[in-house]
Chains A and B, each alone.
Chain A
Amino acid sequence: MSTPRPTSMRQALDWADRASMQLLMGAGMALLSYVFIGVLIFTAVASVIVIGLGVLPETVLMLRRMAGFKRRQVGRWSGTAIPEAYTPLTGTLVERVRKAVKDPGTYRDLRWLFVHIVYGLALLYVALPLWVIGVLVDGVWCGLLGRRAVVLPLLGRLADLDTRWSRALLKPSPEAERNAELAERVEELTVTRAGAVAAHGAELRRIERDLHDGTQARLVALSMRVGLARRAYDKDVTDPEAIRRLLADAQGQAEEALTELRHVVRGIHPPILTDRGLVGAVRALAASSGLEVAVRDDGVEDGPRAPAAVEAAAYFVVAEALTNAAKHSGARRATVELTRRAAGLRISVRDEGRGGADESGGSGLLGMRRRVAALDGTMDVASPTGGPTEIGVELPCVW
């Protein structure tokens, strides 16, 4: 709270003007608070007869809004706003009422509200005669004689007082501040966890469908053919050719089922990830891509491995990107970079092709983006016409 010393009469007047606006707003808020007491009484009565309990959280929110306005106003005058820390009023009505009642911020705000009615108005009452005296005294002293103003700056002092008292009353306790931070973090985690659970659910349904429609159906068909062959064998072996055909069919079905199972397994978690880890698996991808691929590993292979879901997504991204590069870009060379960061895994795939990769063009980009988003990751694609194409993916994880 530093009040610069006004030197000229003009400056002194400007300064006093600003301070007075501040005090006037304070007094206005005090009057509003006075009216708000009516709302408080109504809420109290409504809450006592239980039916009106629903108004309570709304009243507390209004109170918070008023306190918030004062906090910002103090910030405008002094340069530093008063920090705010409330328990968010979320959940069912009962929870919201409970949170509103339990939040110590509610009582701090109430205390401020009543005290502020007094000092908000009182400061303005002091300021009014100061103006009259100030204009008379400083008009002569500063305006005519060129000395330093003495009375008008006192208005600034009054605004400083308002700031100091408001700060003392509205500043949240350190504990409340920490609680509010934690509450915010919990809120955030709840949202991301819900997203992760949904993504996991979708993945499970996809696997279930693949197994149900593909493998299971094939095994049923296979079992049927073996059954038919047995029946034919038991009843009459006059047509060995028919039995042979049924058995050949059955074997064909078994092979198809195995092929489908392999695809499903690859989709869940590519086996080479288990065998060789992410870097080894990416090197294998690079070797079979048909391109000359340089794989750079920045600390991923050493130290703990990323969670399986992250590794699988990273593998999927690199596989898709290299397939696109080999198929569409016309590039002969590509670079894959895997970087260990404190907050997660960074993957970058760059080819020296003709660029112009289009996300809406049915390329694998959309699938990549979905898979990355399911893990709360981000994906950037830069592919100007003429190349090069660079795909950067960040997957957050705890190593």
Chain B
Amino acid sequence: MNIQEKIAQLVPGMTVAEQGEAVITVPADSFRKLAEALRYDKDEPMDYLRDIVGMDWGEDGLGALYYLESSKTYTRIILKTLTADRENAFLPSVSDLWKTAEIKEREAYDFFGIRFLNHPDMRRIFLREDWKGYPMRKDYDMSSNPLNMENEENADTTDEYYLNPDGTIADQKNIVFDEKDFVINIGPQHPSTHGVLRMRASLDGETICKIDPICGYIHRGVEKISESLTYPQTLAMTDRLDYLSAHQNRHALCMCIEKAAGIEISERAQYIRTIMDELQRIDSHLLFYSCVVMDMGGLTPFFYGFREREMILDIMEETTGGRLIQNYNMIGGVQADIQPDFQRKVKEFIKHMRSVIKDYHDIFTGNVIARTRMEGVGVLTKEQVISLGATGGTGRASGWSNDVRKHHPYGVYDKVDFKEILYTEGDCFARYMIRMDEIMESCNILEQLIDNIPEGEYRVKTKPIIKLPEGNFSASVESSRGEFCVMIESHGDKTPYRLHYRSTGLPLVHSMDTACRGNKIADLIAIGATLDYVVPDIDR
């Protein structure tokens, strides 16, 4: 039975969008029932909530798009639900079905003012607690929040809204941290939070009882800015999200726009994009190695990772002109053709990488201290990672096969033969080994592609102003640290009505609490490092 028919049976009032991707609109009052049914479906449980995208449809009201995927069949569906009441917008929470909704619903609340009923922790997540209004709403007054120089006090209580039996909505206070808790503040200025992330951790001696991440210290409002930019202009932002997945992020956005506008890109551009994605992945994983080692106090191997990463950056610089922010993918292809000795240098690098990887393992992987620090620490089970939406290496370390390259191939990944690296332990060591093995697997992919780049145009000509047809469009790639997805809602203009990026890091930061409880402070750093989040990607 088709999934849409199944939903139609459950919710007779549902409608399916005709343009763009099939968005299934469900009335808010039957949404919760449908979500439960889909989540616990026997044959095809929609147990992976990819993202919740808050939306402001003006007259129609506020609502959200729920991107769901089944971890069994990899079928993807999009649900849409909305409420017409703009002043008191309430939607049912799904945070008990998918744990990742806990943080995604907070994001929707923060930007759109949609309150989720029965969500245990309705606090703002990115913005200050004393922020006025909800900035992603279309009617938001830009002058309502002048620069505030006061210190922000974080409340130790939070709100939970629930529905009384008589239909009225009540509010109850939940406690985040008790008065007696010994709360230590880690970040935003801290060497091991990998950016300006802040975590409040309550401790019992050295043991962690709870972690409350506070994001938003470098939130730049990329999604809001993008709403006033033309499609080619929006490209500039993607490299600055997760700067260690710059190519992949931009690849996703280009793919999404090309798909929506019906632009066919050449085979050559596909190859170049894929090669660049893999180089970027090696780059990111080498930095991951350096950071993990550094965070565990081993300062010497740190330089090993950087030594090899430098070679990749040099290769990239020659072709793209950039080292960290490359701005290489364009709508219709890539910005410039590859340099004449690009192929030779990549092959040299692969050879070199294979010869030095033993050093990496000798100095750190086999070290008894490293082993005891990582093995069995911060275990996430398969059910947990799926529920948390922790994609990428973190998910694969727990045995969740979630590689977008395998299950929803893009670029030329369907033409190469590669393994999806899977571990089952779910501890820090498995997460670490995943990345180390992926470096070698990426080398294999590169080797298969590098000599077979077909001749042809590296870029097809596109119109300077691109208008997308009405509808919802999305494209996802396997970025260096998980599934990165671009969701566009177009109303037929040259600018997106709403452009949302699925942050790879947000679910990972959210996983910190689950993974760290009961471990030591030193483990928090190790777990944070092996989860491998990048903060500018969390604070978009």
| A and B interact | no
